Protein backbone atom coordinates (compact mmCIF):
# COMPACT_ATOMS: atom_id res chain seq x y z
CA UNK A 1 0.00 0.00 0.00
CA UNK A 2 2.81 2.42 0.86
CA UNK A 3 4.54 2.24 -2.45
CA UNK A 4 5.45 4.22 -5.50
CA UNK A 5 3.60 3.80 -8.75
CA UNK A 6 4.59 0.53 -10.35
CA UNK A 7 1.72 0.49 -12.87
CA UNK A 8 2.15 1.43 -16.49
CA UNK A 9 -1.03 3.57 -16.26
CA UNK A 10 -0.58 7.29 -16.69
CA UNK A 11 -1.83 8.34 -13.27
CA UNK A 12 0.49 8.02 -10.29
CA UNK A 13 -0.94 5.87 -7.52
CA UNK A 14 -1.72 8.11 -4.53
CA UNK A 15 -0.06 7.47 -1.19
CA UNK A 16 -1.69 7.35 2.19
CA UNK A 17 -0.74 7.96 5.78
CA UNK A 18 -3.56 5.73 7.06
CA UNK A 19 -2.32 2.70 9.00
CA UNK A 20 -3.85 -0.63 8.11
CA UNK A 21 -4.29 -3.22 10.81
CA UNK A 22 -4.37 -6.78 9.44
CA UNK A 23 -3.85 -5.89 5.75
CA UNK A 24 -4.23 -9.58 4.90
CA UNK A 25 -7.72 -9.80 6.43
CA UNK A 26 -10.03 -11.37 3.85
CA UNK A 27 -12.95 -9.12 2.99
CA UNK A 28 -14.19 -11.40 0.17
CA UNK A 29 -12.97 -14.83 1.31
CA UNK A 30 -14.12 -16.77 -1.76
CA UNK A 31 -12.52 -14.28 -4.11
CA UNK A 32 -9.29 -13.93 -2.15
CA UNK A 33 -9.74 -10.16 -1.83
CA UNK A 34 -8.07 -8.73 1.26
CA UNK A 35 -8.16 -5.32 2.91
CA UNK A 36 -4.87 -4.52 1.16
CA UNK A 37 -6.31 -5.73 -2.15
CA UNK A 38 -9.28 -3.38 -1.77
CA UNK A 39 -6.94 -0.49 -0.89
CA UNK A 40 -4.86 -1.20 -4.01
CA UNK A 41 -8.03 -1.24 -6.14
CA UNK A 42 -9.14 2.15 -4.80
CA UNK A 43 -5.67 3.61 -5.30
CA UNK A 44 -6.01 2.80 -9.01
CA UNK A 45 -9.46 4.37 -9.45
CA UNK A 46 -9.13 7.26 -6.99
CA UNK A 47 -8.54 9.89 -9.70
CA UNK A 48 -11.76 8.81 -11.45
CA UNK A 49 -13.87 8.21 -8.34
CA UNK A 50 -13.00 11.21 -6.17
CA UNK A 51 -15.57 13.71 -7.54
CA UNK A 52 -18.41 11.34 -6.68
CA UNK A 53 -17.43 10.62 -3.06
CA UNK A 54 -15.49 13.65 -1.80
CA UNK A 55 -17.46 16.32 0.08
CA UNK A 56 -20.73 14.39 0.07
CA UNK A 57 -22.60 12.86 2.98
CA UNK A 58 -21.90 9.12 2.82
CA UNK A 59 -23.73 6.04 3.99
CA UNK A 60 -21.51 2.99 4.40
CA UNK A 61 -22.15 -0.71 4.32
CA UNK A 62 -19.62 -1.99 6.84
CA UNK A 63 -18.69 -5.64 7.17
CA UNK A 64 -15.97 -5.88 9.84
CA UNK A 65 -15.59 -9.64 9.34
CA UNK A 66 -15.87 -9.55 5.57
CA UNK A 67 -18.90 -10.22 3.39
CA UNK A 68 -19.78 -13.47 5.14
CA UNK A 69 -20.09 -11.70 8.51
CA UNK A 70 -22.57 -9.15 9.88
CA UNK A 71 -23.38 -6.09 7.71
CA UNK A 72 -24.14 -2.63 9.14
CA UNK A 73 -25.57 0.18 6.98
CA UNK A 74 -24.25 3.31 8.73
CA UNK A 75 -24.98 6.98 8.12
CA UNK A 76 -23.32 8.24 11.29
CA UNK A 77 -19.79 8.07 12.68
CA UNK A 78 -19.20 5.39 15.31
CA UNK A 79 -17.07 5.23 18.41
CA UNK A 80 -13.42 5.33 17.38
CA UNK A 81 -14.06 6.53 13.82
CA UNK A 82 -10.71 7.00 12.07
CA UNK A 83 -9.47 10.60 12.13
CA UNK A 84 -9.25 10.66 8.33
CA UNK A 85 -13.05 10.26 8.19
CA UNK A 86 -14.77 13.59 8.67
CA UNK A 87 -17.88 14.22 10.75
CA UNK A 88 -20.24 16.90 9.58
CA UNK A 89 -23.53 18.19 10.96
CA UNK A 90 -26.55 18.08 8.70
CA UNK A 91 -27.64 21.74 8.58
CA UNK A 92 -31.26 20.59 8.81
CA UNK A 93 -30.55 18.34 11.79
CA UNK A 94 -27.97 20.25 13.81
CA UNK A 95 -28.86 18.50 17.06
CA UNK A 96 -28.83 15.06 15.48
CA UNK A 97 -25.83 12.79 15.11
CA UNK A 98 -23.29 14.03 12.56
CA UNK A 99 -22.96 12.51 9.10
CA UNK A 100 -19.90 10.97 7.47
CA UNK A 101 -17.83 12.85 4.90
CA UNK A 102 -14.37 12.36 3.41
CA UNK A 103 -12.26 15.05 1.76
CA UNK A 104 -9.23 13.18 0.43
CA UNK A 105 -7.59 9.83 -0.41
CA UNK A 106 -6.73 9.21 3.24
CA UNK A 107 -10.46 9.36 3.92
CA UNK A 108 -11.12 6.62 1.38
CA UNK A 109 -8.28 4.53 2.83
CA UNK A 110 -9.78 5.00 6.29
CA UNK A 111 -13.09 3.68 4.91
CA UNK A 112 -11.21 0.60 3.67
CA UNK A 113 -9.54 0.18 7.07
CA UNK A 114 -13.03 0.45 8.61
CA UNK A 115 -14.37 -2.35 6.40
CA UNK A 116 -16.74 -0.03 4.55
CA UNK A 117 -17.23 -2.42 1.63
CA UNK A 118 -19.89 -0.25 -0.04
CA UNK A 119 -19.92 3.54 -0.28
CA UNK A 120 -23.29 5.24 -0.88
CA UNK A 121 -23.17 9.04 -1.32
CA UNK A 122 -25.98 11.55 -1.41
CA UNK A 123 -26.70 13.12 -4.79
CA UNK A 124 -25.58 16.49 -3.41
CA UNK A 125 -22.35 17.94 -2.07
CA UNK A 126 -21.79 19.49 1.33
CA UNK A 127 -21.20 22.76 -0.54
CA UNK A 128 -24.83 22.70 -1.60
CA UNK A 129 -26.80 20.41 0.71
CA UNK A 130 -30.26 21.39 -0.46
CA UNK A 131 -29.52 21.35 -4.20
CA UNK A 132 -28.75 17.98 -5.76
CA UNK A 133 -26.12 17.88 -8.49
CA UNK A 134 -27.32 14.63 -10.04
CA UNK A 135 -30.35 12.42 -10.61
CA UNK A 136 -29.86 8.66 -10.26
CA UNK A 137 -32.32 6.30 -11.91
CA UNK A 138 -31.80 2.74 -10.65
CA UNK A 139 -33.04 0.01 -12.98
CA UNK A 140 -34.16 -2.97 -10.94
CA UNK A 141 -35.13 -5.91 -13.14
CA UNK A 142 -37.72 -8.34 -11.76
CA UNK A 143 -37.49 -12.06 -12.39
CA UNK A 144 -37.60 -13.18 -16.02
CA UNK A 145 -36.27 -9.89 -17.38
CA UNK A 146 -33.46 -10.29 -19.92
CA UNK A 147 -30.28 -8.23 -19.83
CA UNK A 148 -31.10 -6.83 -23.28
CA UNK A 149 -34.32 -5.45 -21.83
CA UNK A 150 -32.38 -3.75 -19.01
CA UNK A 151 -30.08 -2.19 -21.62
CA UNK A 152 -33.15 -1.12 -23.59
CA UNK A 153 -34.57 0.56 -20.48
CA UNK A 154 -31.30 2.44 -19.90
CA UNK A 155 -31.30 3.68 -23.50
CA UNK A 156 -34.92 4.76 -23.14
CA UNK A 157 -34.00 6.76 -20.03
CA UNK A 158 -31.06 8.32 -21.85
CA UNK A 159 -33.41 9.44 -24.62
CA UNK A 160 -35.87 10.88 -22.11
CA UNK A 161 -33.13 12.79 -20.27
CA UNK A 162 -31.80 14.14 -23.55
CA UNK A 163 -35.31 15.12 -24.69
CA UNK A 164 -35.52 17.11 -21.45
CA UNK A 165 -32.21 18.84 -22.25
CA UNK A 166 -30.20 16.80 -19.72
CA UNK A 167 -27.13 14.60 -20.19
CA UNK A 168 -27.13 10.94 -19.16
CA UNK A 169 -24.35 8.58 -18.08
CA UNK A 170 -24.56 4.87 -17.31
CA UNK A 171 -22.87 2.49 -14.87
CA UNK A 172 -23.30 -1.09 -13.81
CA UNK A 173 -24.70 -1.45 -10.29
CA UNK A 174 -22.25 -4.22 -9.45
CA UNK A 175 -25.38 -6.21 -8.58
CA UNK A 176 -28.31 -6.91 -10.85
CA UNK A 177 -28.93 -3.76 -12.82
CA UNK A 178 -27.80 -0.49 -14.33
CA UNK A 179 -27.87 3.06 -13.00
CA UNK A 180 -28.52 5.99 -15.34
CA UNK A 181 -27.16 9.19 -13.82
CA UNK A 182 -27.82 12.73 -15.01
CA UNK A 183 -25.68 15.68 -13.85
CA UNK A 184 -27.55 18.77 -12.65
CA UNK A 185 -26.53 22.31 -11.97
CA UNK A 186 -27.26 22.52 -8.24
CA UNK A 187 -30.17 24.96 -8.44
CA UNK A 188 -33.43 23.09 -7.88
CA UNK A 189 -34.22 21.63 -4.46
CA UNK A 190 -34.80 18.02 -3.44
CA UNK A 191 -38.57 18.14 -3.77
CA UNK A 192 -38.47 19.35 -7.35
CA UNK A 193 -35.69 16.95 -8.35
CA UNK A 194 -37.43 13.93 -6.86
CA UNK A 195 -40.73 14.96 -8.48
CA UNK A 196 -38.97 15.19 -11.85
CA UNK A 197 -37.42 11.73 -11.42
CA UNK A 198 -40.77 10.29 -10.35
CA UNK A 199 -42.57 11.84 -13.31
CA UNK A 200 -40.04 10.27 -15.68
CA UNK A 201 -40.48 6.83 -14.09
CA UNK A 202 -44.27 7.13 -14.05
CA UNK A 203 -44.43 8.19 -17.68
CA UNK A 204 -42.26 5.23 -18.74
CA UNK A 205 -44.56 2.88 -16.83
CA UNK A 206 -47.61 4.54 -18.41
CA UNK A 207 -46.19 4.34 -21.94
CA UNK A 208 -45.07 0.71 -21.64
CA UNK A 209 -46.71 -0.99 -18.67
CA UNK A 210 -45.69 -4.45 -19.86
CA UNK A 211 -42.02 -3.55 -19.46
CA UNK A 212 -41.79 -0.93 -16.73
CA UNK A 213 -43.24 -0.19 -13.32
CA UNK A 214 -42.77 2.86 -11.14
CA UNK A 215 -43.89 1.37 -7.82
CA UNK A 216 -41.57 -0.66 -5.65
CA UNK A 217 -44.05 -3.50 -4.92
CA UNK A 218 -41.92 -6.63 -5.38
CA UNK A 219 -44.86 -8.84 -6.41
CA UNK A 220 -45.55 -6.61 -9.43
CA UNK A 221 -42.00 -6.80 -10.72
CA UNK A 222 -42.02 -10.20 -12.36
CA UNK A 223 -41.17 -9.73 -16.01
CA UNK A 224 -40.84 -5.96 -15.53
CA UNK A 225 -38.19 -3.42 -14.63
CA UNK A 226 -38.78 -1.18 -11.64
CA UNK A 227 -37.61 2.32 -12.54
CA UNK A 228 -36.38 3.13 -9.02
CA UNK A 229 -36.48 6.92 -8.78
CA UNK A 230 -36.43 6.77 -4.96
CA UNK A 231 -32.66 7.39 -4.80
CA UNK A 232 -33.40 11.09 -5.30
CA UNK A 233 -34.90 12.31 -2.05
CA UNK A 234 -33.01 14.23 0.64
CA UNK A 235 -30.92 11.74 2.61
CA UNK A 236 -31.37 8.94 0.06
CA UNK A 237 -28.30 7.40 -1.48
CA UNK A 238 -27.11 5.26 -4.36
CA UNK A 239 -23.93 3.25 -4.55
CA UNK A 240 -20.99 5.38 -5.77
CA UNK A 241 -19.31 4.96 -9.14
CA UNK A 242 -16.38 2.56 -8.58
CA UNK A 243 -17.62 1.44 -5.15
CA UNK A 244 -17.15 -2.23 -4.39
CA UNK A 245 -20.20 -4.32 -3.48
CA UNK A 246 -20.36 -6.50 -0.37
CA UNK A 247 -21.52 -9.47 -2.40
CA UNK A 248 -19.81 -12.62 -3.68
CA UNK A 249 -17.53 -11.86 -6.63
CA UNK A 250 -16.26 -8.48 -5.35
CA UNK A 251 -18.01 -6.66 -8.19
CA UNK A 252 -17.89 -2.88 -8.45
CA UNK A 253 -20.29 -0.29 -9.83
CA UNK A 254 -18.49 0.55 -13.09
CA UNK A 255 -19.07 3.65 -15.23
CA UNK A 256 -19.39 2.69 -18.90
CA UNK A 257 -19.47 4.35 -22.27
CA UNK A 258 -22.97 4.00 -23.71
CA UNK A 259 -21.46 2.05 -26.61
CA UNK A 260 -20.14 -0.57 -24.18
CA UNK A 261 -23.60 -1.75 -23.15
CA UNK A 262 -23.93 -5.29 -24.45
CA UNK A 263 -24.64 -8.87 -23.50
CA UNK A 264 -20.89 -9.27 -22.95
CA UNK A 265 -20.90 -7.01 -19.90
CA UNK A 266 -23.13 -8.24 -17.09
CA UNK A 267 -23.97 -5.89 -14.19
CA UNK A 268 -21.37 -7.61 -12.02
CA UNK A 269 -18.77 -8.06 -14.77
CA UNK A 270 -16.24 -5.55 -13.44
CA UNK A 271 -14.66 -6.41 -10.11
CA UNK A 272 -12.00 -5.33 -7.66
CA UNK A 273 -9.72 -7.95 -9.23
CA UNK A 274 -10.13 -7.24 -12.96
CA UNK A 275 -9.69 -3.46 -12.75
CA UNK A 276 -6.16 -3.31 -14.18
CA UNK A 277 -7.08 -4.58 -17.68
CA UNK A 278 -10.17 -2.37 -17.58
CA UNK A 279 -8.11 0.75 -16.87
CA UNK A 280 -5.48 -0.05 -19.47
CA UNK A 281 -8.16 -0.73 -22.11
CA UNK A 282 -10.00 2.54 -21.37
CA UNK A 283 -9.11 5.33 -23.76
CA UNK A 284 -10.89 7.96 -21.70
CA UNK A 285 -12.74 8.30 -18.46
CA UNK A 286 -16.15 6.93 -19.57
CA UNK A 287 -17.76 9.72 -17.54
CA UNK A 288 -15.39 12.44 -18.75
CA UNK A 289 -17.19 15.76 -18.73
CA UNK A 290 -19.87 14.60 -16.27
CA UNK A 291 -20.04 17.81 -14.23
CA UNK A 292 -19.37 20.06 -17.24
CA UNK A 293 -22.47 18.57 -18.88
CA UNK A 294 -24.69 19.63 -15.96
CA UNK A 295 -27.80 21.63 -16.79
CA UNK A 296 -30.44 23.09 -14.50
CA UNK A 297 -33.49 20.94 -13.82
CA UNK A 298 -35.97 21.75 -16.62
CA UNK A 299 -39.19 23.52 -15.71
P1 LIG B 1 -28.92 -3.92 -7.55
O2 LIG B 1 -28.39 -3.92 -8.91
O3 LIG B 1 -28.77 -5.25 -6.88
O4 LIG B 1 -30.33 -3.39 -7.48
P5 LIG B 1 -28.40 -1.46 -6.19
O6 LIG B 1 -27.23 -0.76 -5.60
O7 LIG B 1 -29.08 -0.73 -7.29
O8 LIG B 1 -27.98 -2.90 -6.69
P9 LIG B 1 -29.63 -2.10 -3.58
O10 LIG B 1 -28.34 -2.62 -3.03
O11 LIG B 1 -30.81 -2.99 -3.49
O12 LIG B 1 -29.54 -1.68 -5.11
O13 LIG B 1 -29.94 -0.77 -2.79
C14 LIG B 1 -30.71 0.26 -3.31
C15 LIG B 1 -30.22 1.53 -2.66
O16 LIG B 1 -30.78 1.70 -1.38
C17 LIG B 1 -28.73 1.51 -2.46
O18 LIG B 1 -28.08 2.13 -3.54
C19 LIG B 1 -28.50 2.20 -1.14
O20 LIG B 1 -27.97 3.50 -1.32
C21 LIG B 1 -29.81 2.17 -0.46
N22 LIG B 1 -29.73 1.21 0.64
C23 LIG B 1 -29.25 -0.04 0.60
N24 LIG B 1 -29.33 -0.63 1.81
C25 LIG B 1 -29.89 0.30 2.63
C26 LIG B 1 -30.24 0.32 4.01
N27 LIG B 1 -30.04 -0.74 4.81
N28 LIG B 1 -30.79 1.44 4.52
C29 LIG B 1 -31.00 2.52 3.72
N30 LIG B 1 -30.69 2.56 2.41
C31 LIG B 1 -30.14 1.47 1.87
MN1 LIG C 1 -30.82 -1.37 -8.22
MN1 LIG D 1 -33.47 -0.06 -6.28
Q: What is the pLDDT of residues 176-185, one digit of tens each?
A: 999 999 999 9
- 283 pLDDT tier (thresholds 50, 70, 90): confident
The response to whether residue 138 sits with its C-beta less than 6 Å from ligand 1 reads: yes
Q: How far is the CA of 66 from the centre of ligand 1 (A)?
A: 18
The response to whether residue 180 sits with its C-beta less than 6 Å from ligand 1 reads: no
* 69-81 average pLDDT score: 97
Kindly state the percentage of the chain with pLDDT values over 70.
97
Neighbour tally for 5: CB within 10 Å: 14
Dihedral sign (CA 161, 51, 107, 3): positive
Report which of 257, 252, 261, 244 is spatially closest to residue 289, judged by C-alpha positions. Answer: 257
Q: What is the predicted pLDDT for the residue at 4?
A: 46
Q: What is the predicted pLDDT for the residue at 189?
A: 98
pLDDT digits (tens, 9 = 90+) for 200-244: 999 999 999 999 999 998 888 899 999 999 999 999 999 999 999
Q: What is the predicted pLDDT for the residue at 233?
A: 98
Q: What is the predicted pLDDT for the residue at 8?
A: 45
Give the CA radius of gyration of the chain.
Answer: 19
Q: What is the predicted pLDDT for the residue at 218?
A: 86
Of 111 and 13, the structure prediction assigns the larger pLDDT to 111
Hey, is 224 helix, strand or coil?
Answer: coil
141 has a pLDDT exceeding 60: yes
Identify the bridge partners of residue 181 per DSSP, sorted by sequence position: 136, 169
Q: How far is the CA of 231 from the centre of ligand 2 (A)?
A: 10
Q: How far is the CA of 180 from the centre of ligand 1 (A)?
A: 15
User: Are the C-beta atoms of 294 and 185 separated by less than 8 Å?
Assistant: yes
Amino acid sequence: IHREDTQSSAKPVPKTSVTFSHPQRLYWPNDGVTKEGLADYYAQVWHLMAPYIVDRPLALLRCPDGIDGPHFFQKHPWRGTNKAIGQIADPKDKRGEPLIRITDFDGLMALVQSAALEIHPWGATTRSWEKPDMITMDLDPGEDVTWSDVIGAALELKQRFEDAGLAAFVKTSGGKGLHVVSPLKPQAGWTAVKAFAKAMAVSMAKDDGDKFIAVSTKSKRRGRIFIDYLRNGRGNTAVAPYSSRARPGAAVSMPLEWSELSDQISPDYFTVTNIAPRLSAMKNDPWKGFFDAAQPLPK
